[in-house]
Structure 1
Amino acid sequence: MSIFHDLVRFMLSFNMKLQYNDTIMSISKLICAIPVILLLLISQTAYSSSDINIVTTIKPLHGLVSAVVAGTNAKATLLIPANKSPHNYNLKPTDMRQLSRANVIFWTGTDIEAFMYNALGNPRIADKAINFSGLSGLTLLPRKALEGVCPNCKDKNDKHAENMQDIDPHYWLDPHNAIVMIDAISKTLCKLDPENIKIYTKNSLTAKTRLINLNKELSARLATVKNVPFLVIHNAYQYLQNRYSLNYLGAIVVNPGIGLSAKRLQKITAVVKARRPVCIFQEPQINSKVIANIQKQAGYDLYTATLDPLGVDLANDQESYFMMMHNLAKNIQSCLIKDPDHSN
């Protein structure tokens, strides 16, 4: 009733000379107009509530979030450019402002995004940051299992080593884990923006169905080369190796932000000569000059190809995660298939 009284007073203040009958008529018209006015106000409020600002740290997370928010006003922003490695990224003042203004922040965890330590000291950021590595239901593999060429290597120069957990942080490269992440994204956004709950739920179901099919497609493609040995420059592919039973020998670099010691290079060269991997996979985010040295010392045709676990050249949209995974499988197969002696 207070809204009605205010509207009446507003109207009468501009028409004090109305006759009684005219006033009654005007009030009657106003009463009829009130539902329309309120509907307009409510509609405007609903639109504003759906304009959720989401920040994702890396592109694979951005792709999954984009798949869930498609068709809503929610905005997903990528914090780290895809051509930058999250291992040695440093936050800029603009990044901090972006994190502070977000409604929710999705990130992978401190094992790969050590730059978030300082950001999480700000309560305005920490209170809305969701660390995917803590999700229940994820398949997490131990970090030590991926050091195939140097099981006990620890880099004393890595200032973040003491804060690292004993897990491999590249868990998004398993489609089964991506399904768990989709569920968490959908659940979070449904709470923040209940007016779009039907869209988020429908999108998450669609994304999970696509991830199930993606897993089948990758399994069929990689089965043709699963026995072919290979090395990678960066220890990011254990989840692919584990999910699809690939013959992964190990990684050249423990941490992309730290240089390769002569001692480790000798060990890697010895493994190459003994195990004769068909390919070494490099990455666009990492300087790979060391690969040429290893190729020179191998003494046989050691092929190289590029794997991109972040999707550098892909658009920032709802297709990027699926495209990234397809590209990884295609590039692995196309390189390993070059040696018929190791193929099935």
Structure 2
Amino acid sequence: MKSIRTFIGLIGMTSLLFAGCSVPSASDNGPSPSAQTETKATAGVAVATENKGDHKLKIVTTFYPMYDFTKNVAGDLADVSVLIPTGVEPHDWEPTAKDIQQLADADLFVYNGLVEGWVSDTIKSVNSKTLQVVEASKGMNLMEGIPEEEEGEHADGEHDHAHESNLDPHVWLDPVLAQQEVKAIEETLMKADPAHADTYKKNAAAYLEKLQALDKSYRDTISTTKRKDFMTQHAAFGYLARQYGLTQIPISGLSPDVEPSPAKLVEIVKFAKEQKVKTIFFEELISPKIAETVAKEIGAKSNVLSPIEGLADEDKANGLDYIGVMEKNLKALEAALNE
């Protein structure tokens, strides 16, 4: 029986899966705050020198986790909006002229880093000397994605060429790294609006307690499961796996819409049978057909493991937020890891 490590190494040598996650190179992780926004950088956060006083901040965020983290820190003291609409895959989204104007009218812009490959060029085009920019993942120990070939094929037949760097952007799916992102956002808000610094600090502390409790739930639950490997359609859970001693076995790479070749699909099916995989995870914003195909071939079932790049309609209807979806993910993982 091939080991999981051997299989992952084999993916790196033979697959057409991993064409990147629209990830920029390591030297292009986002705009230079000092060059683009006339701000001074402190601990990875761009901070304006002017005092906003009692001005209610306008904050623009890129996609859902950045919005939820920011909203929990800002509370009612800021108007927080999100650029990327629900149901849209963040890896492929590009801003319109209207979106760029929204940024020009904002006080703060919060983005994750890496996943938003358009940020650097967009900030250059924003006509604002006071816009403050927060790259929430800056300074983190980022993982390299699983080695990939030079290009992969999308479901529509188009090809996606790999970037010079293959860094994994999905840090928000690790509750511990999510806390670091919240702290970066808190620091910016306190300096941008010092009159309400105590409130931001209090809000952040309360939310960090919830994230710490989430981390404990993951740690306690996963420590007792029968198996430590899980199969996903999209390689979005590397940080979560690393944090809790799991091994992610991806069918596709960092780019969620790249499909395996027929030969690689046969290889994956064979490996899944050997490992007695009983659940194949897919996500809401992309077609589940590959996961369902593998599941059918090996007599397994498919289930959702959300990368929380946007809230599904069902999750919104149930009033879930980032923590609620992460708790839902934990239940799904617990069931699969105990099969």
Q: TM-score if structure 2 supplies the norm length?
A: 0.74
Q: 1:303 pairs with 301, 304, 319, which one? A: 301
User: Would you say 1:321 and 2:319 are equivalent positions?
Assistant: no
Bigger RCO (CA 8 Å, 6+ sep): 2
- Tell me by how many angstroms 1:68 deviates: 0.4
* Structure 2: distance between partners of 1:274 and 1:262: 19
Partner of residue 141 from structure 1, selected from 140, 143, 161:
143
Partner of 1:269: 269
Deviation for aligned residue 1:315: 4.8
Are residues 1:94 and 2:92 paired? no
| Inter-partner Cα distance in structure 2 for 1:264 and 1:91 | 35
Contact (CA 8 Å) 1:226, 1:244: kept in 2 or not?
Answer: no
Cα 1:261–1:118, aligned 2, differ >3 Å: closer, same or farther? Answer: farther
Letter paired with 2:134? I
Going by fraction, where is strand more abundant, 1 or 2? 2
Q: Secondary structure at the match of 1:82?
A: coil
Using a 3 Å threshold, how does the CA distance of structure 1 residues 142 and 253 change in structure 2: closer, same or farther?
Answer: closer
Deviations 1:185-205 (A, max 9, x none): 111011111111110011111
Q: For the residues of structure 1 that align with 2:273 and 2:89, how far apart are their CA atoms?
A: 30
CA distance in structure 1 between the partners assigned to 2:240 and 2:193 by the alignment: 34
- Following superposition, the deviation at residue 117 of structure 1 comes to 4.5
Change (3 A) 1:101 1:47: closer
Kindly provide the amino acid, as one letter, of the partner of residue 183 in structure 2: D
Residue 155 of structure 2 corresponds to none
Q: What residue in structure 1 maps to residue 240 of structure 2?
A: 240
Distance verdict in 2 for CA 1:118–1:291, change over 3 Å: same
Q: Secondary structure at the match of 2:258?
A: coil
Q: SS where residue 160 of structure 2 aligns?
A: coil
TM-score normalized by structure 1?
Answer: 0.73
Is 2:112 the partner of 1:114?
Answer: no
Task: Provide the C-alpha distance between the structure 2 equivalents of 1:162 and 1:141, rounded to a whole number of angstroms.
Answer: 15
User: Could you give the per-residue CA deviations for residues 28-61 of structure 1, whole angstroms, max 9, x where no partner exists?
Assistant: xxxxxxxxxxxxxxxxxx9983311111111111
SS of structure 2 residue aligned to 1:121: helix
Match of 1:59 among 56, 64, 75: 64
Letter matched to residue 151 of structure 2: D
Cα distance in 2 between the residues matched to 1:308 and 1:328: 7
Please state which structure has a larger fraction of its residues in helix. 1
Quote the offset at 1:64 in angstroms.
Answer: 0.8
Q: Deviations over 1:165-221 (max 9, x none)?
A: 342110111111112111111110111111111100111111222221211112122
Distance 1:194-1:275 versus aligned 2 partners, 3 A rule = same
**1:241: how far off?**
1.0
Alignment of 1:159-178 (within 5 A): 159=161, 161-162=162-163, 165-178=165-178
Amino acid at match of 1:290: I
Change (3 A) 1:187 1:319: farther
Query: In the TM superposition, what is the alpha-carbon distance from 1:154 to its structure 2 partner?
Result: 4.0
SS of the equivalent of 2:116 reads: coil
Say if 2:85 is the partner of 1:81: yes
Per the alignment, residue 155 of structure 1 pairs with 151
2:109 to 92, 105, 110: 105
**Residue aligned with 2:231, SS:** strand
* Counterpart residue identity of residue 274, structure 1: E
**Which residue matches 2:312?**
312
Letter in structure 2 aligned against 1:185: I
Q: 1:180 to 1:47 in 2, by over 3 A?
A: closer
Asked if the contact 1:55/1:79 (under 8 Å) is kept, the reply is: yes
Residues 92-151 of structure 1 deviation map (CA, whole Å, 9 limit, x = unaligned): 332222222221111122x322233541331547963322232x3x3422212xxxxxx4
Is the 8 Å Cα contact of residues 279 and 304 (structure 1) preserved in structure 2? yes
Matches within 5 A, 1:189-268: 189-225=189-225, 227-268=227-268
Identity of aligned residues (%): 26
**CA distance in structure 1 between the partners assigned to 2:60 and 2:219 by the alignment:** 32
Q: Is the 8 A contact 1:231 1:252 kept in 2?
A: no
The 3 A distance-change label for structure 1 pair 228 and 183 is: closer
Aligned residues: 278
| Structure 1 vs Structure 2 CA RMSD | 2.7
Match of 1:181 in 2: 181
